Amino acid sequence: MSLQPRRSSVTLFLLVITPVALLVWLGTYLIRDAARSTDSAREAILEERLIVADHQLLHDLRHFTDELDRFGVAEGTALTEAARQVGEHAWVAEVWISAPDAVPTTVVDKKTLTPTAEAQAAPVSAALRDQLRINDIAGPVISTNPQPFVHINTPPDQSSTRISKGVWQTAIKSLNYHLDSGLPIEASFASGWHVSDGDFIYWRLVGDEILCARVDGRKLGPSLFARLPLPGMENYAGRLTLTTTTGIPLHGWGLSLAGPELAASRRLCSAPLNQWQLSYTPTLHEFPKPYLFPIMLGVGSGCLLVWALAWTFFRENAREIRVAQQRVSFVNQISHELKTPLTNIRLYTEMASHRIEQAGDTIGKRHLGVVETEVARLDRLIQNVLIYARQQRDKLNVQPRPISLDHVVERAVNHWRLLLERKGFELDTRLVGPNEMTADPDAIEQILGNLISNVDKYAAYGKYIAVRTEQDVEKSVARVIVEDRGPGIPLSKRNMVFEPFERLRSDLNEGVSGTGIGLTISRELAELHGGSLDVCPNYKEGSRFILTLPLQAKKS
């Protein structure tokens, strides 16, 4: 895979995949947040509906409590007479009076109910008296919370929807919850309810005696929940259900919904009715779904914009790549076409050089030497173009074989010696490299030709070039060092010079020809050997390029 497709893939990921993923994540987050907000609002609305229904049940029970409290309140009325008057109520099934350390005295028993053993007068009276004693109840109670009743024993966990069957709950009437009941605000006794699963015991504490009245739940219950739904709730499309905590249905209002009725909200009724439970099941369309259109529109528009920008970018990028490939292909074809006549020119130049040498024409030989130098230069330029085209199209390779590094370097320098000396360069060569190593001699000559050519182009006013070889036995590498005394390369630009078609300063480039790919190809050839080509950062007199090659080149 070439460098350009790799860059295109990275660009695709950065410009398309990442923004789209972020937009999708943002849209998902906003949708979930909208759903959570809608669910929270729905739960709050349903909870408010159940609170209103619960308050209505307590309000009606408080009204009935005040009605029972009115019996026997005339001055001078004995507690027994008050018990008889309470027993005259149609919903009261049994009335008794409990005195301390005495068996309860039954005053009224209509025989309409048969209580269980734990609901008999004696155990109920004992449990009730214990609760009143534990909570220090001796008279009327005023609560800081204006509720109809105050729970005077340990209240159940309101987060639970169940209370164990048979658990008695005791509540006392709060005086600061006022009804227009005809009773004076200041009452002379405490009263309330002692309730279990299906058992409703009205009690009144007068002195140290307790008046207890068992109320028929079959009559009390319907009178309480018959007023449900409350005014305004009849417009709701869902179903309101009242059950015992053990699941026995007591009352239901609203349409029966298709499928399993899974209540969206549940609430235990407040004391003393906390053996009952209210629940509300909404219809599928009673509450609006989260309004997701703006979110979907925003996310969709963002994704569409990203894709449009990406499509535009890649269309232009593909066009530029296509044009660049066409140019490279064109130059490659032209370079191949130039190779044949260049080979013929070199051949006939060598033949002419031999004949002139035999004829003893020194001037003609010097002229032909210039031709040979320029032919070698042109051949190197063509080789650069062909190598770069092959690098872009396929993968470069080298063919290492045993060589003498100094012989290869000397041959490469000799190609340039005549031209450099004619231009007045001082050519300093010190060759102390390894006698034998494995490398591609053509690649080394190509690298040295590019380095020396750059000295000729950009550091000519220094009139100095040094080419040295050395061997590092410890690291098993050989080095070829090329130095000049030109303007040098800025530290920040020392990696940039190896980029294709990169030139540093216009004043140095002015009037200088070249392809701009020589150093790119040279570094690539060095790396194919397992070596490197770098600019020495410590050399201050000009530029120093260091070619490092392993003594045993890796296989391409």
Q: What is the DSSP string of 234-295?
A: GG--SEEEEEETTS-EEEEESPPPSS----SEEEEPPTT-TTEEEEEE--TTSSPPP--HHH
pLDDT of residue 535: 92
H or E element, residue 328:
helix 293-359
Per-residue pLDDT, averaged over 404-411, amounts to 94
Q: What secondary structure does DSSP assign to 397-446, as a single string?
A: ----EEE-HHHHHHHHHHHHHHHHHHTT-EEEEEE---S-EEE-HHHHHH
How do 209-215 and 239-244 pair as beta strands?
A: unpaired
pLDDT of residue 158: 47
**CA 260/CA 347 separation, integer angstroms:** 99
pLDDT of residue 193: 95
pLDDT of residue 389: 65
Residue 133 has pLDDT above 60, yes or no: yes
Fold classification of 396-556 (topology level): Heat Shock Protein 90 (3.30.565)
Print burial letters for 14-33: b (CB count within 10 Å at least 16), e (below 16): eebeebbeebeeebeebeee
Radius of gyration of the chain from Cα atoms? Answer: 52
Weakest-pLDDT range from 61-70, 362-371, 397-406, 443-452: 362-371
pLDDT of residue 166: 60
Give the confidence band of 391 by pLDDT, cuts at 50, 70, 90. low
pLDDT of residue 35: 79
Kindly list the distances between the CA atom of residue 286 and the CA atoms of 47, 48, 50, in Å, as whole numbers in the listed order. 15, 16, 16
Phi first, then psi: give them for residue 165, nearest 5 degrees: -65, 135
Residue 89 has pLDDT above 70, yes or no: yes
Q: What percent of the chain has pLDDT over 90?
A: 30
pLDDT of residue 506: 46
Q: Tell me if 209 sits within 8 A of 105, measured CB to CB.
A: no
Positive or negative torsion for Cα 338, 341, 347, 348: negative
Q: Tell me if 216 sits within 8 A of 113, measured CB to CB.
A: yes
Give the confidence band of 161 by pLDDT, cuts at 50, 70, 90. very low
Report whether the peptide linkage leading into residue 288 is cis, meaning its omega lies within 30 degrees of zero. Answer: no
**CA 318/CA 191 separation, integer angstroms:** 90
Residue 445 has pLDDT above 50, yes or no: yes
Residue with tokens 């033949």: 351
pLDDT of residue 402: 94
Weakest-pLDDT range from 129-143, 323-337, 502-516: 502-516
Residue 278's nearest CA partner among 266, 288, 293 is 266
Give the confidence band of 9 by pLDDT, cuts at 50, 70, 90. low
Residue ranges, CATH 1.10.287.130, the chain? 320-394
CA trace torsion 421, 426, 432, 433 (10° rounding): -60
pLDDT of residue 210: 96
Phi first, then psi: give them for residue 190, nearest 5 degrees: -95, 145
Higher pLDDT, 504 or 367: 367
Per-residue pLDDT, averaged over 45-50, amounts to 85
Q: Tell me if 365 sits within 8 A of 354, measured CB to CB.
A: no
pLDDT of residue 159: 47
Q: Tell me if 341 sits within 8 A of 375, measured CB to CB.
A: no
Weakest-pLDDT range from 322-331, 420-429, 431-440, 467-476: 322-331
Work out the angle at residue 202's Cα, subtended by the Cα atoms of residues 199 and 206, and round it to the nearest 5 degrees. 145
Give the confidence band of 514 by pLDDT, cuts at 50, 70, 90. low
Residue 78 has pLDDT above 90, yes or no: yes
Report whether the peptide linkage leading into residue 19 is cis, meaning its omega lies within 30 degrees of zero. Answer: no
Residue 184 has pLDDT above 70, yes or no: no
Residue 186 has pLDDT above 70, yes or no: no
pLDDT of residue 318: 77
Strands, E assignment, 25-147: 92-98, 105-109
Residue 347 has pLDDT above 80, yes or no: no
As beta bridge partners, residue 196 has 199
Cα 451 vs. chain centroid, distance in angstroms? Answer: 51
CA trace torsion 72, 74, 77, 81 (10° rounding): -20
Q: Tell me if 115 sits within 8 A of 194, measured CB to CB.
A: no
pLDDT of residue 337: 64
Residue ranges, CATH 3.30.565.10, the chain? 396-556
Count the Cβ atoms, other than its own, within 10 Å of residue 430: 12
Residue 517's nearest CA partner among 331, 296, 264, 286 is 331
Residue 457's identity, in one-letter code, is: K
**CA 211/CA 79 separation, integer angstroms:** 8
Count the Cβ atoms, other than its own, within 10 Å of residue 142: 10
Q: Tell me if 58 sits within 8 A of 270, measured CB to CB.
A: yes
**CA 140/CA 352 separation, integer angstroms:** 137
pLDDT tens, residue by residue, 214-255 = 999 889 988 887 777 666 655 667 788 888 888 888 888 776
Phi first, then psi: give them for residue 352, nearest 5 degrees: -65, -35
pLDDT of residue 83: 95
Per-residue pLDDT, averaged over 525-550, amounts to 92
HSE-CB at 409 with a 13 A cutoff on CA atoms is: 23
HSE-CB at 16 with a 13 A cutoff on CA atoms is: 15
Per-residue pLDDT, averaged over 327-347, amounts to 68
Tokens of 192: 């309330």
Q: Tell me if 497 sits within 8 A of 504, measured CB to CB.
A: yes
Weakest-pLDDT range from 48-52, 90-94, 285-289, 482-486: 285-289
Count the Cβ atoms, other than its own, within 10 Å of residue 319: 10
pLDDT of residue 251: 84
Give the confidence band of 395 by pLDDT, cuts at 50, 70, 90. low
pLDDT of residue 94: 96
Kindly list the distances between the CA atom of residue 232 and the CA atoms of 49, 52, 264, 336, 374, in Å, as whole numbers in the listed order. 10, 11, 20, 94, 104
Tokens of 303: 């994704």
Helix axes 362-393, 518-528, angle to 10 degrees: 70
Count the Cβ atoms, other than its own, within 10 Å of residue 435: 10
Give the confidence band of 144 by pLDDT, cuts at 50, 70, 90. confident
Residue 379's nearest CA partner among 282, 270, 453 is 453
The pLDDT mean for the chain works out to: 81
pLDDT of residue 120: 92
Per-residue pLDDT, averaged over 118-131, amounts to 92
Fold classification of 320-394 (topology level): Helix Hairpins (1.10.287)
Q: Tell me if 89 sits within 8 A of 71, measured CB to CB.
A: yes
Task: Give the DSSP letter of residue 186.
Answer: S
